[in-house]
Structure 1
Amino acid sequence: MIENRDNTENYDEHCSVNMTDNKYLLETEGCIEERSQILIEFNDLSYSACNRNYRCSEKHKQKQILYSVSGHLRPGRLTALIGPSGAGKSTLLNIISGLKQSNLKGSVTVNGAERNVDIFRRLACYIPQDFVLLPLLTAKETLYIAACLKLGFPHTTETRKYIVNEIANRLGLSSCLHTPVGKLSGGEKKRLSFGVELITNPTVMLLDEPTSGLDSAASKQVIDLLHAMAQTGRTVVCAIHQPSSQLMSKFDDVIVMNQGTIVYCGPQIDIYDTFKRANFVCPQFYNISEYVLEVVSGQRGGDLDQLHKISEQNYKNAQVQNQYLKNKKAAIMSGRLTEYPEEDEDGIPMPGRYSVSKWRQQKVLLCRAIICISRDNTMTKLRLAAHVIVAFLLGLVFHNFGDDASKAQSNISCLFFFLLFLFFANAMPAVQMFPTEAAVFLREHLNNWYSLQSYYISKVLSDFPLQILCPTLFLLISYCMTGQPFDVNTMMKVWLVCTLLTILSQSFGIAAGAAFNTQAGTFLIPAMNIPMFLFAGFFIKLNEVPEYLQPICTVSYFRYAFEGVLEAIYNDDRPPLQCPTREPCFIISSQQILKYLNMQSSQFYVIVLALCAWILCLHVCIYTVLRLKLYVATK
């Protein structure tokens, strides 16, 4: 994938590493220029969320989360956002990052100008608490693929590799670059999540609980890294739950929240004096973060109203001091994005929202999907092995039943089991694996890495070879061993039906995994398909189904698949079946078998069209679910 190599770049004493052959290279270790530093101010922000038990239109049923909060996030400083659980820390970060825009009152300004959300999100990165990464990629591949999706023109393959190596060296990931993400330690995963977002050298970094799940040593390493990043001129903010005294000393500014309000917003060194003026005196050698949480939760004596007034006055004074940044670069949000030509390195016009063209997005995503599929023991290796093993098992159990008239009923059961196995062997792994991939998709799409269309096209194309290979291997073994007719036309029809059912089943599993969690999807797939099995014509003949239940037979894709296989196997051109037993065989012709099962109602092309229609409907459902998740994620 990516080779480490020596570089001949010049190092400045304090700032960035600059490649002599590419003036646009984003600095991986350097200072953010003063003109590009970003001061974020939010004024009178109020936010309400819809109660899940009621409609959003019912305003009295909405839950108020933020109550007219105001504050600032200054460049070149590491800001801690602390407060008890449920104080509104994550919600405030989501609003500042632009992920939540509805049910919102108040304003967010950047260097004194009204924030343009689309442009701001290209200059900022948001790292949530649960930063999901694809476990089958190595750390190096994760970084390089992020670079390919986030760095368009004028960056070349060499500059992307260089940036990846520099970020890995800086974050201490050089020793684990070839380790799969699923085998990294908690601290390494955290640093890798930083590296993924540092690809574009963001001016603003917003992090939600970056130390959660880490030990004290790893937490210190993470905060030290964030402090170093802030010193380069970035605006770095992280919500953190009860930091130690050692970690607290690394923060330059602190915002204290409680029940949707801001109790304090200012320098970390001023917390003691501010709280003391409101009669909250922190004991000597006491962790100030713990004391602050005790104060806002009412466990300490003092005047909270006075503390609010003092904090508000301090914030007004700070607004006057911040005026210099507003005057210097108020037009940054409109100017910085026009420095690059509007086409990628392939000469393809580049859309404004994404850094690379949709064609390049699809190529990178397809490559990533193929790598994951080739390494996936469940969806690929185990799945292929299961198809081969079960095919041999069926071949042994139903050996040469296909042309034996005395075993016609058993052969029909064998054919139905073909379909039953192909459905569950492809639907269940999909519902188990897709939720993780869906979480990665949501994060990357919301961060403007690629479009939903590019992701979906690459997903469909990458799965297609395996959807062909699995039923082909299965039928090559089971079809021959069970003694089905060796006629090219018959074999192709059976293969086509089984392949369509395999594609349909995996699409069903992906739809269930995308719409629900793993547990719900695992339950719903068998539950929702029992009617399809029941009305397929195997357990009960189609003409014996009550009239009011006939519509279920009409929509059952198992009915069409079962009917298609039977019509292909027992076609009109097939000679009479053999009867090796001494006793007479009552059913020896294909027409008699189909008539007995009431399977002479649909033409084969109708069966194929019905299965294709089901596949199309499921893909529409998957696309709609993903689009809906994107919509909900911004609410």
Structure 2
Amino acid sequence: MMVLVSGIAYPGELLAIMGSSGAGKTTLLNTLMFKSSPNVMVSGYTVLNGYPVSSGTLSSLSAYVQQDDLFIGTLTVREHLVFQALVRMDRHIPYKQRMEMNKSLLSWRCLNVKTPQSAYLGGSRVFQEVLTDPPLMFCDEPTSGLDSFMAQNVVSVLKAMANKGKTVVSTIHQPSSEVFSLFDKVLLMAEGRVAFLGSTDEACTFFQQMGAACPSNYNPADYFIQLLAVIPTREDSCKQTIELICDNFQNSEIGLKIHHDTEPRTDLQRSPYKASWWAQMRAVLWRSWMATMKEPVLIKVRILQTLLVGLLIGVIYYGQELNQDGVMNINGAIFILITNMTFQNVFAVINVFCAELPVFKREHFNGMYRTDVYFLCKTIAEIPVFIVIPVIFISISYYMIGLSPGPERFWMAVFILTLTANVATSFGYFISCVSSNVDMALTIGPPVIIPFLLFGGFLLNNSSVPIYFKWLSYLSWFKYANEALLINQWEGVDHIDCTASNTTCPKNGLVVVETLNFSFANLDMDLMSLAGLIIGFRFLAYLALLSRTYRSY
């Protein structure tokens, strides 16, 4: 819990927020950046040049380097920085100038442009923010996990930014004396309160006046943290000391001046996005396409899976004839094709889309791009994959099974199954957007699909659907795809071989379709229904994603 926390950071200064573990450093930064957990109650305001700012305005004027790295792992360092330059630099900066700044940064950091993001050094997340040249930067433990040399290197970069007139605020945990000397001011926190805010020299003077002078030849940072820590064996006395220090600072001349200087004026509003809608669209689409194409193992596995399953179905149902047994087998094979395309594409979307959601949410809340831009680009980038997969699948199994041999019938089957695959993809997006993580999506996905499968017309005749579930059957892509493929297969089949003693054998294709309560006249309606479900599920997925990312700007 934080109580009466006030502070001020000036342009041209590098401010360190320090304190023992649990002092409230990260909580303070998250509160300043409007990124607190919904369970955290916050009162107060963030003021910029005397004006209260909203989350959107602050996002457009600042950068926030968080502790954990989230990125698209298949992109190289260069590609990642190019994307950052496209969506985060001011929209009035020409493309050529952005790329030159990107190249300069890569050269300065000696980064291997072909190094994957997975090999990106933790401290290097700071340098992507340097590229955007923000007037205000917040860093949460930027030196975490780095050796002393790299830590000093990172803080030196922050110091260089501050020397250019930027305002840089960073939490840091037990810096070395060399790193500590780079900071202009320090904000010490303890038990959720401000124990001191001022220059490093003023800090030593303040604690000396309190009768707790820092010993000579001792790292002041280590001393301050130890002094303000709560030791389990002396918890009461430590808390009394902390309360005394915090109260003294709050009533000191520096503390009263800070309280006065942080009084707000009127609101300052600004768009959170630096890039235009079209610039965001181009950049996110480029990155989405690169990320899709740079998943060679995943794409190869999906193609191999498609080949093997298509071949397996073709072998099992090989060479069906137009007789009583063939009718049942052909209808079963058609339904298996639909079922496989559904589950394969739903799970493919869930595994990829859910994994990228944390990256999207962070970048969106940082004001990099809009929700509609991300969703639209993700959809467009993956369209080729979700067209190629069903084409390969049906091309293998169609003639092996012995379905209607005409080329126009084959291409109609390809079209129907492609629509089916994309309905499943849209449904996968919807499940992903309403789920909090991959495990939840994979858990709720199959049970939700089962009712749609049951109302597909193969396992349960359409005439037998209970009246109270009739509405659900109208949302079943299994039903529309099954009817369309059966029409494509049996229309024009005037004769089916039947034995004289078998009176239940369908005599022609019309009887086969009507037995399932389908109709040849419904083909166009089936195709339009599949197209409508693609749009409908995508729209619901977008609304679900929007609701998860909505906040007032």
Q: TM-score normalized by structure 1?
A: 0.76
Is 503-512 or 107-116 further displaced after alignment?
107-116
Q: What residue in structure 1 maps to residue 8 of structure 2?
A: 72
Shift of 1:484: 0.6
Q: Deviations over 1:475-529 (max 9, x none)?
A: 1121122111023453344223211221121122222223320111111111211
Q: Distance in 1 between matches of 2:503 and 2:44?
A: 87
**Maintained 8 Å contact 2:197/2:203:** no
Is 464-473 or 376-385 further displaced after alignment?
376-385
Distance of aligned partners of 1:212 and 1:520 in 2 relative to their CA distance in 1, 3 Å threshold: farther
**Maintained 8 Å contact 1:400/1:482:** yes
**Maintained 8 Å contact 2:413/2:488:** yes
Q: How does 1:203-602 map to 2 (within 5 A)?
A: 203-243=135-175, 247-278=179-210, 280=212, 285=218, 287-288=222-223, 290-295=225-230, 299=235, 301=238, 303-314=241-252, 316=254, 319=257, 353-377=272-296, 380-401=299-320, 403-516=322-435, 517-571=437-491, 573-577=492-496, 586-600=505-519
Q: Secondary structure at the match of 2:6?
A: strand
Answer yes or no: is 1:624 the counterpart of 2:543.
yes
Shift of 1:467: 1.9
Bigger helix share? 2
Q: How does 1:113-262 map to 2 (within 5 A)?
A: 113-115=51-53, 118-152=56-90, 154-170=92-108, 172=109, 174-182=110-118, 184-187=119-122, 190-191=123-124, 193-243=125-175, 247-262=179-194
Distance of aligned partners of 1:321 and 1:100 in 2 relative to their CA distance in 1, 3 Å threshold: closer
**Maintained 8 Å contact 2:83/2:287:** yes
Q: Secondary structure at the match of 1:72?
A: coil
Shift of 1:291: 0.1
Amino acid at match of 2:366: N
Q: Distance in 2 between matches of 1:218 and 1:575?
A: 79
Which structure would you say has the larger RCO, counting Cα contacts within 8 Å and 6 or more residues apart? 2
Q: Secondary structure at the match of 1:555?
A: coil
Amino acid at match of 1:186: L
Distance of aligned partners of 1:381 and 1:581 in 2 relative to their CA distance in 1, 3 Å threshold: farther
Q: Deviations over 1:340-366 (max 9, x none)?
A: xxxxxxxxxxxx653333223222222
Shift of 1:97: 3.2
Shift of 1:168: 1.8
Distance of aligned partners of 1:71 and 1:261 in 2 relative to their CA distance in 1, 3 Å threshold: same
Answer yes or no: is 1:110 the counterpart of 2:48.
yes
**Maintained 8 Å contact 2:355/2:438:** no
Amino acid at match of 2:289: I
Shift of 1:202: 1.2
Shift of 1:423: 1.0
Q: Distance in 2 between matches of 1:82 and 1:321?
A: 20
Q: Secondary structure at the match of 2:338?
A: helix
Q: Deviations over 1:8-56 (max 9, x none)?
A: xxxxxxxxxxxxxxxxxxxxxxxxxxxxxxxxxxxxxxxxxxxxxxxxx
Amino acid at match of 2:157: L
Distance of aligned partners of 1:390 and 1:116 in 2 relative to their CA distance in 1, 3 Å threshold: closer
Distance of aligned partners of 1:491 and 1:290 in 2 relative to their CA distance in 1, 3 Å threshold: same
Shift of 1:140: 0.7
Shift of 1:404: 4.9
Q: Deviations over 1:427-474 (max 9, x none)?
A: 112111113322222222223322223223222222222222211121
Amino acid at match of 1:201: D
Q: Distance in 2 between matches of 1:264 and 1:405?
A: 88
Q: Secondary structure at the match of 2:5?
A: strand
Q: Distance in 1 between matches of 2:541 and 2:258?
A: 51
Q: Secondary structure at the match of 1:598?
A: coil
Distance of aligned partners of 1:233 and 1:322 in 2 relative to their CA distance in 1, 3 Å threshold: farther
Shift of 1:402: 5.9
Q: CA RMSD in A?
A: 3.6
Q: Distance in 1 between matches of 2:52 and 2:133?
A: 23
- In structure 2, runs of 5+ residues without a counterpart are none
Q: Distance in 1 between matches of 2:98 and 2:499?
A: 71
Q: Distance in 1 between matches of 2:535 and 2:27?
A: 38
Q: Deviations over 1:526-579 (max 9, x none)?
A: 1211222223222232333444444433332222222222222122x2232457
Q: Secondary structure at the match of 1:510?
A: helix
Is 272-281 or 456-465 further displaced after alignment?
272-281
Q: Distance in 2 between matches of 1:129 and 1:581?
A: 78
**Maintained 8 Å contact 1:210/1:222:** yes
**Maintained 8 Å contact 1:278/1:303:** no
The number of aligned residues is 542
**Maintained 8 Å contact 1:510/1:622:** yes
Distance of aligned partners of 1:527 and 1:418 in 2 relative to their CA distance in 1, 3 Å threshold: same
- In structure 1, runs of 5+ residues without a counterpart are 1-64, 338-351
Answer yes or no: is 1:91 the counterpart of 2:10.
no
Amino acid at match of 2:444: L
Q: Secondary structure at the match of 2:550?
A: helix
Q: What residue in structure 2 maps to residue 26 of structure 1?
A: none
**Maintained 8 Å contact 1:126/1:207:** yes
Is 442-451 or 620-629 further displaced after alignment?
442-451
Distance of aligned partners of 1:545 and 1:512 in 2 relative to their CA distance in 1, 3 Å threshold: closer
Q: Distance in 1 between matches of 2:223 and 2:152?
A: 17
**Maintained 8 Å contact 1:186/1:213:** no
Q: Deviations over 1:296-322 (max 9, x none)?
A: 986464533321222124463684899
Shift of 1:118: 4.7
Distance of aligned partners of 1:320 and 1:577 in 2 relative to their CA distance in 1, 3 Å threshold: closer
Answer yes or no: is 1:82 the counterpart of 2:1.
no
Q: Distance in 2 between matches of 1:128 and 1:464?
A: 33
Q: What residue in structure 2 maps to residue 20 of structure 1?
A: none
Q: Distance in 1 between matches of 2:107 and 2:543?
A: 41
Q: Distance in 1 between matches of 2:363 and 2:322?
A: 55
Bigger strand share? 1
Distance of aligned partners of 1:492 and 1:72 in 2 relative to their CA distance in 1, 3 Å threshold: same
